[in-house]
Amino acid sequence: MEFETEDVLLERARAGDSNSLSRLLAAHAPALERMIALRLDARLGRRLEASDILQETLTLAAQRFADWSREQRYPLRLWLRLLATQALQSAFREHHRLKRDLGRESSDIAARLHPTAERAADWYASTHTSPTEAVRRGEMRERVLAALAQLDDIDREVLVLRSFEQLSNEEAALELGIDPAAASKRFARALQRIRPALRGLSDDNTRGAT
């Protein structure tokens, strides 16, 4: 059986194969859901799950895939992330019913869609400990949270994009609308700020394994 790479699925989807498009979107779904969960406003999260926003994103992607295929202004992964951001913005407006001028509303929403230190620390702790390691998870979360809280929104965003979500420097720069050199500098600065905390976690893991 032929191994179907993303390029193969893309070619078939562009030719109108809806099954290939569904499989292509499904392959990106887990990473998109993680992205959404990191950016889901705490109040909105009490009403909607990340999976709800994901389904809206995938619906938008299926509807707009032909347009993306013609233009290809962004790589597929970044285009899907852009749609996820739009779905988050739409959910934020609907559920919070903002009644301010558009400029102020846009600024407020943009600020809320950055990964917060709390959400990033939660994600880091949950992916590096087992459910039974409650004490160690709490200690890890607090240590990482203290380090992440020192970063400004953009530095934290770059760190999340590069380290947690595995985007390349060029992809992170394109998503944030900044120069790749600036993205690289911000990433290095963020790593320098949190490296002591992460080194401490590595030391803890080493001691626990001996």
Q: What is the mean pLDDT of residues 16-42?
A: 90
Model pLDDT, residue 46: 63
Distance CA 103, CA 86 (A): 16
Other beta carbons within 10 Å of 45: 13
Model pLDDT, residue 129: 66
Q: Is the pLDDT of residue 34 over 70?
A: yes
Q: Beta-strand (E) ranges in 34-95?
A: none
Cα distances (angstroms) measured from residue 31 to each of 10, 17, 64, 134: 18, 23, 20, 25
Classify burial at 104, counting beta carbons within 10 Å of its beta carbon; exposed 0-12, middle 13-18, buried 19 or more.
exposed
Lowest-pLDDT range of 33-37, 96-100, 111-115: 96-100
Confidence (pTM): 0.75
Model pLDDT, residue 113: 65
Where is pLDDT greater, at 151 or 179?
A: 179
* pLDDT tens sequence across 51-108: 999 999 999 999 999 999 998 888 999 999 999 999 988 887 776 664 444 344 444 4
Q: Write down all domains in the chain, each with its CATH number in brackets.
A: 6-112 (1.10.1740), 117-209 (1.10.10.10)
Could you tell me which of 74, 72, 90 has the C-alpha nearest to residue 175? 74
| DSSP alpha helix (H) spans, 2-49 | 6-14, 18-39, 42-45
Model pLDDT, residue 65: 97
Radius of gyration, CA atoms only, the chain = 19
Residue with tokens 């019913």: 97
